[in-house]
């Protein structure tokens, strides 16, 4: 196994890129994620540990945030009295003598989730030390994090000072979420912190212990319990220090701090190597099914593993009451809220490789049906209307207003009111999961209710107008065009939704008659209602231009100003940002795959090959990919249409969104949907993975010329299949 294709490396310290790397090198285990801030801190850094489900709505803010938990990383060192720091201010007379960084390299092992950093550092005394840091978030025990530091005296025999701490004085970009009264514990060889969120009342408890040196506890500020140590290194001597941290919340246990103190004692007794062995064994299990091999394109191979790694560390393993936020647990973007990104982008690849994780994510929605029903009711509808942005409660948490613009004004955000396709996206994910897994227990107990009650919503939402059914005031995937009537994406997906609901009822009637009767009674699925659904299917307005043989994104779309998006290249921002919000909504510039998204989801059911190609050639040049969700979907559809050069361009773009930070916002967190999207572009697009009408598994590879081979695994109805698609493909074996 070539380490090169499994290791993300930062060569040389690049101060301007640290917040980008903090995101890329995030470690996590589906319970918490921790950005790759340095143990010793750095001016301008943004350390954050985010724990699934810990939201809080702070006074004076519009919506809840996923809360930055206390920081467990701090290990501060002095070398002969010189503080170890990567940026040193040599002329700052108020600070102690500064040192000098002679060398730096950091790497993330994607196969094991271990973050490694080596620094060669010269203290003001002239002593030189090599510092080797390592950390991981245990995948075996999600409540445990471990750090190891090796200090090697390369030149001289320096005096070393160590301070290992927990920092409770954290905030979300200045917004305080923790009550100021924290419990800080520092006794014997342990430190601990317990903190409570101000509105939601969640409690987090953390505890740490240090091995390899004798420590003294101290707690001065009430928020930074610390273990201190000091020792001298002889010339060439090496000392290894390990810090173990346990993390619990009131979502898991009644006494988070007490539990953490016990758990950290056990972890420390087990020792670093033993914890690491268990952790690596769990990762090996993940990769045994999740790895996708591309031969012939090392750059994309590494990038694909990077995307897979981030999906895996974000996916909750043991909890069906949390889900993956748009920025995973790697940053504060979108406040940790959950969007359609999960169901249509991140979740489907998990269905193939880690079906239990996919199921957890669907269950999150099932447990939030009450919120969705409330939203439907409050808006005057029946059934379940899921929030566009979701947190712990299941209530709509989309902010109504943007953050202030440069001129101080705020823009009204309509997605929470009008981006109602989210309910169908969830139904689609349930159906897709069931088609591939045949997890009948899930379907009959939970999934069916999701599909059916969201169908009930649409039955009450459509409007009988002009001798047909229409849907007004929507936002489709293209969010530049708000509150439009008859979004073709939405209307067509609603037809799919109602057809699927009827198909599902037929299946339940035959295969699960008890559940059928229960759901018919509890959701009011009367004959009248079902006849109404049939009617909607037959008479839904699907905007289509007969002359041009294309789907029309929405009526009036082509009456707006045409802006040739390809002329706006190269650019570092969206065309919307260049033209301005007000102008761009009056143009044909499209934010992200919309009709193209429809083609990805429904494939041939959208229309003939001619119509699909016409749609592609119409919408591709109008799309500015202002959303990170867009390029991967374009890659997927282009590959299916046999437009392999376009597909590869889009795939390459998508796979590098985070690595190259080509949206300039990776400091806010990973783009979860882009990660899931590239996996789907590869599987559904280039490899043509699908189920035929009889539910049989097929592939139809159309690979970029320089790819020799793609190998991947798929769980299909309980059995694992390995596909080995070679280029050119004559016959594809299914092992
Ligand atoms: O869900 C997406 C949306 O489609 C485009 N704007 C960003 C959201 C979160 O990723």
d(CA 696, CA 163): 60
Residues 115 and 20 in one domain: yes
Task: State the pLDDT at residue 732.
Answer: 44
Residues 210 and 241 in one domain: yes
Q: What percentage of the chain exceeds 70 in pLDDT?
A: 97
Task: State the pLDDT at residue 89.
Answer: 53
pLDDT above 80 for 129 = yes
pLDDT above 50 for 352 = yes
Task: State the pLDDT at residue 726.
Answer: 86
Whether 206 contacts 184, CB under 8 Å: no
393 belongs to a structural domain:
no
State the distance from the centre of ligand 1 to the C-alpha of 326, rounded, in angstroms.
7
Whether the full predicted model's pTM is greater than 0.95, yes or no, is: yes
Q: Which of 63, 314, 324, 326 to mutate to test the pocket of ligand 1 (most atoms within 8 A of CB)?
A: 326
Residues 302 and 177 in one domain: no
pLDDT above 80 for 316 = yes
Q: What are phi and psi of 642, to 5 degrees?
A: 80, 10
Whether 295 contacts 709, CB under 8 Å: yes
CB distance 627 to ligand 1 below 6 Å: yes
Q: Which of 580, 609, 624 is the last residue of a domain?
A: 624
Residues 52 and 110 in one domain: yes
Q: Give tens-digit pLDDT for 668-696.
A: 999 999 999 999 999 999 999 999 888 89
d(CA 638, CA 649): 10
Q: How confident is the model at residue 97 (pLDDT cuts 50, 70, 90)?
A: low
Residues 66 and 143 in one domain: yes
Q: Which of 63, 402, 629 to mutate to test the pocket of ligand 1 (most atoms within 8 A of CB)?
A: 629
Q: Give tens-digit pLDDT for 192-251.
A: 999 999 999 999 999 999 999 999 999 767 899 999 999 999 999 999 999 999 999 999
Least confident piece of the model among 72-86, 257-271, 395-409: 395-409
CB distance 396 to ligand 1 below 6 Å: no
CB distance 417 to ligand 1 below 6 Å: no
Q: Which amino acid residue places its CA nearest to atom 7 of ligand 1?
A: 627
Q: Which amino acid residue places its CA nearest to atom 4 of ligand 1?
A: 477
d(CA 572, CA 581): 17
Alpha carbon of 94 to those of 40, 78, 87, 91, 160: distances in Å?
19, 17, 15, 9, 21
Strands (E), 197-347: 203-211, 216-218, 226-232, 238-249, 293-295
495 belongs to a structural domain:
yes
237 belongs to a structural domain:
yes
Residues 268 and 327 in one domain: no
Q: What are phi and psi of 152, to 5 degrees?
A: -120, 125
For residue 572, give its domain range. Answer: 543-624
User: Is 728 or 189 the better-scoring residue by pLDDT?
Assistant: 189
- Strands, sheet with 27-28, edge to edge from the N-terminal-most edge strand: 27-28, 32-34, 49-56, 65-69
Per-residue pLDDT, averaged over 403-428, amounts to 94
**Residues annotated as part of the active site:** 479
d(CA 6, CA 504): 42
Give the pair of three-digit tokens for residue 701.
Answer: 């590879």
630 belongs to a structural domain:
no
Task: State the pLDDT at residue 405.
Answer: 81
Q: Is the dihedral of CA 87, 92, 94, 97 positive or negative?
A: positive
- Please name the residues in contact with 16: beta carbons below 8 A apart, sequence gap of 6 or more: none
Residues 714 and 730 in one domain: yes
Count of alpha carbons within 13 Å of 417, Cβ hemisphere only? 10
Q: How confident is the model at residue 284 (pLDDT cuts 50, 70, 90)?
A: very high
State the distance from the centre of ligand 1 to the C-alpha of 388, rounded, in angstroms.
10
State the distance from the centre of ligand 1 to the C-alpha of 547, rounded, in angstroms.
33
Q: Which amino acid residue places its CA nearest to atom 9 of ligand 1?
A: 326
Q: Which atom of ligand 1 is nearest to the CA of 671?
A: 10
Q: How confident is the model at residue 728 (pLDDT cuts 50, 70, 90)?
A: low
316 belongs to a structural domain:
yes
Residues 422 and 528 in one domain: yes
pLDDT above 70 for 112 = yes
Chain-centre distance of CA 229, in angstroms? 39
State the distance from the centre of ligand 1 to the C-alpha of 9, rounded, in angstroms.
29
d(CA 298, CA 293): 10
Task: State the pLDDT at residue 493.
Answer: 99
Task: State the pLDDT at residue 727.
Answer: 77
d(CA 129, CA 611): 66
Per-residue pLDDT, averaged over 529-546, amounts to 98
Q: Which atom of ligand 1 is nearest to the CA of 341?
A: 1
Task: State the pLDDT at residue 441.
Answer: 98
Q: Which of 255, 287, 319 is the last residue of a domain?
A: 287
State the distance from the centre of ligand 1 to the C-alpha of 423, rounded, in angstroms.
15
Task: State the pLDDT at residue 427.
Answer: 99
Q: Which of 624, 639, 669 is the last residue of a domain?
A: 624
Least confident piece of the model among 96-105, 181-190, 364-373, 584-593: 96-105
638 belongs to a structural domain:
no
Task: State the pLDDT at residue 90.
Answer: 53
Q: Which of 338, 387, 479 to mutate to test the pocket of ligand 1 (most atoms within 8 A of CB)?
A: 479
Q: How confident is the model at residue 88 (pLDDT cuts 50, 70, 90)?
A: low
Residue in 37, 41, 63 with CA at minimum distance from that of residue 50: 37
CB distance 388 to ligand 1 below 6 Å: no
Q: What percentage of the chain exceeds 90 in pLDDT?
A: 92
Contacts 24+ apart (CB under 8 A), 321-325: 321/53, 321/251, 321/363, 321/364, 321/367, 321/392, 322/52, 322/53, 322/364, 322/392, 323/361, 323/364, 323/365, 323/390, 324/361, 324/672, 325/66, 325/669, 325/672
379 belongs to a structural domain:
no
- Please name the residues in contact with 401: beta carbons below 8 A apart, sequence gap of 6 or more: 62, 410, 411, 412, 413
Give the pair of three-digit tokens for residue 187.
Answer: 């006794």
544-545 and 49-56 as β-strands: parallel, antiparallel, unpaired?
A: unpaired
Task: State the pLDDT at residue 437.
Answer: 97
Task: State the pLDDT at residue 407.
Answer: 86
pLDDT above 50 for 735 = no
CB distance 415 to ligand 1 below 6 Å: no
Task: State the pLDDT at residue 406.
Answer: 82
pLDDT above 60 for 731 = no
pLDDT above 80 for 536 = yes
Mean pLDDT of all residues belonging to the chain = 95
374 belongs to a structural domain:
no
Per-residue pLDDT, averaged over 320-343, amounts to 98
Longest dimension (CA), the chain: 89
Whether 278 contacts 112, CB under 8 Å: no
Residues 531 and 461 in one domain: yes
Residues 184 and 229 in one domain: yes
State the distance from the centre of ligand 1 to the C-alpha of 657, rounded, in angstroms.
14
Report the number of distinct structural domains present in the chain.
4
State the distance from the centre of ligand 1 to the C-alpha of 58, rounded, in angstroms.
23
Residues 619 and 499 in one domain: no
d(CA 417, CA 473): 9
Whether 168 contacts 194, CB under 8 Å: no
CB distance 334 to ligand 1 below 6 Å: yes
Q: Which atom of ligand 1 is nearest to the CA of 334?
A: 9
pLDDT above 80 for 91 = no
State the distance from the centre of ligand 1 to the C-alpha of 626, rounded, in angstroms.
10
CB distance 338 to ligand 1 below 6 Å: no
CB distance 326 to ligand 1 below 6 Å: yes
Per-residue pLDDT, averaged over 61-78, amounts to 98
Residues 48 and 190 in one domain: yes
pLDDT above 80 for 189 = yes
- Please name the residues in contact with 542: beta carbons below 8 A apart, sequence gap of 6 or more: 488, 491, 492, 495, 551
Q: Which atom of ligand 1 is nearest to the CA of 477?
A: 4
Task: State the pLDDT at residue 671.
Answer: 98
């Amino acid at each position: 196994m070539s380490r090169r294709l499994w290791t993300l490396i930062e060569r040389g310290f690049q101060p301007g890129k640290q917040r980008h790397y903090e995101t890329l090198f995030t470690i996590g285990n589906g319970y918490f994620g921790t950005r790759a801030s340095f143990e010793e801190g750095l001016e301008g850094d943004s350390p954050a540990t985010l724990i699934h489900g810990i939201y809080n709505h702070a006074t004076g803010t519009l919506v809840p945030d996923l809360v930055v938990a206390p920081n467990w990383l701090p290990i501060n060192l002095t070398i002969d009295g010189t503080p170890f720091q990567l940026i040193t201010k040599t002329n700052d007379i108020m600070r102690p003598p500064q040192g000098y960084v002679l060398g730096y390299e950091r790497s993330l092992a994607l196969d094991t989730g271990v973050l490694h950093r080596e620094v060669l550092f010269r203290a003001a005394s002239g002593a030189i030390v090599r510092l080797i840091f390592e950390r991981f978030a245990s995948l075996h025990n999600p409540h445990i994090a471990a750090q190891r530091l090796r200090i090697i005296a390369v030149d001289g025999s320096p005096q070393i000072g160590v301070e290992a701490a927990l920092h409770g004085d954290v905030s979300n970009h200045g917004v305080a979420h923790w009550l100021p009264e924290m419990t800080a514990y520092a006794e014997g060889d342990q430190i601990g912190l317990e903190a409570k969120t101000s509105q939601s009342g969640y409690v987090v408890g953390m505890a740490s212990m240090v091995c390899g040196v004798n420590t003294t506890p101290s707690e001065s500020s009430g928020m930074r319990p610390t273990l201190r140590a000091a020792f001298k290194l002889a010339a060439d001597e090496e000392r290894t220090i390990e810090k173990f941290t346990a993390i619990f919340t009131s979502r898991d246990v009644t006494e988070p701090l007490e539990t953490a103190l016990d758990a950290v004692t056990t972890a420390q007794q087990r020792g670093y190597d033993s914890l690491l062995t268990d952790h690596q064994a769990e990762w090996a299990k993940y990769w045994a099914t999740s790895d996708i091999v591309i031969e012939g394109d090392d750059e994309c191979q590494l990038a694909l593993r990077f995307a897979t790694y981030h999906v895996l560390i974000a996916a909750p393993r043991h909890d069906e009451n949390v889900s993956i936020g748009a920025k995973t647990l790697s940053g504060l973007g979108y406040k940790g809220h959950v969007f359609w990104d999960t169901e249509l982008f991140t979740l489907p690849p998990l269905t193939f490789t880690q079906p239990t994780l996919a199921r957890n994510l669907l269950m999150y929605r099932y447990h939030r049906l009450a919120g969705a029903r409330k939203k439907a009711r409050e808006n005057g509808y029946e059934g379940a209307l899921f929030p566009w942005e979701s947190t712990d409660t299941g209530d709509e948490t989309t902010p109504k207003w943007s953050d202030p613009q440069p001129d101080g004004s705020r823009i009204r955000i309509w997605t929470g009111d009008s981006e109602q396709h989210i309910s169908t996206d969830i139904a689609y994910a349930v159906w897709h999961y069931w088609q591939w897994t045949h997890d009948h227990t899930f379907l009959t107990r939970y999934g069916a209710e999701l599909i059916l009650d969201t169908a009930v919503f649409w039955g009450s939402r459509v409007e009988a107008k002009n001798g047909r059914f229409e849907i007004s005031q929507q936002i489709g995937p293209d969010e530049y065009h708000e509150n439009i009537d008859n979004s073709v994406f939405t209307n067509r997906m609603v037809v799919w939704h109602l057809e699927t609901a009827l198909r599902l009822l037929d299946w339940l009637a035959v295969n699960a008659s008890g559940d059928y009767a229960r759901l018919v009674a509890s959701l009011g699925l009367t004959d009248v209602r079902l006849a109404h659904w049939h009617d909607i299917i037959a008479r839904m307005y699907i905007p289509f231009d007969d002359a041009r043989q294309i789907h029309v994104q929405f009526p009036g779309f082509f009456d707006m100003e045409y802006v040739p998006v390809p002329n706006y290249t190269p650019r570092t921002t969206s065309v919307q940002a260049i033209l301005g919000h007000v102008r761009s909504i009056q143009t044909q510039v499209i934010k992200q795959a919309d009709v193209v998204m429809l083609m990805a989801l429904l494939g041939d059911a959208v229309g003939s090959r001619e119509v699909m190609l016409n749609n592609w050639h119409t919408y591709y040049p109008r799309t500015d990919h202002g959303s990170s969700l867009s390029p991967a979907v374009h890659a997927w559809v282009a590959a299916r249409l046999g437009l392999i050069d376009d597909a590869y361009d889009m795939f390459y773009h998508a796979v590098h969104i985070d690595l190259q930070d080509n949206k300039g916002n990776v400091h806010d967190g990973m783009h979860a949907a882009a990660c899931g999207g590239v996996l789907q572009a590869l599987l559904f697009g280039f490899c043509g993975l699908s189920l035929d009408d009889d539910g049989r598994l097929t592939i139809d590879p159309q690979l970029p010329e320089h790819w020799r081979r793609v190998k991947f695994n798929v769980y299909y109805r309980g059995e694992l299949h390995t596909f080995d698609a070679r280029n050119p493909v004559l016959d594809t074996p299914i092992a």
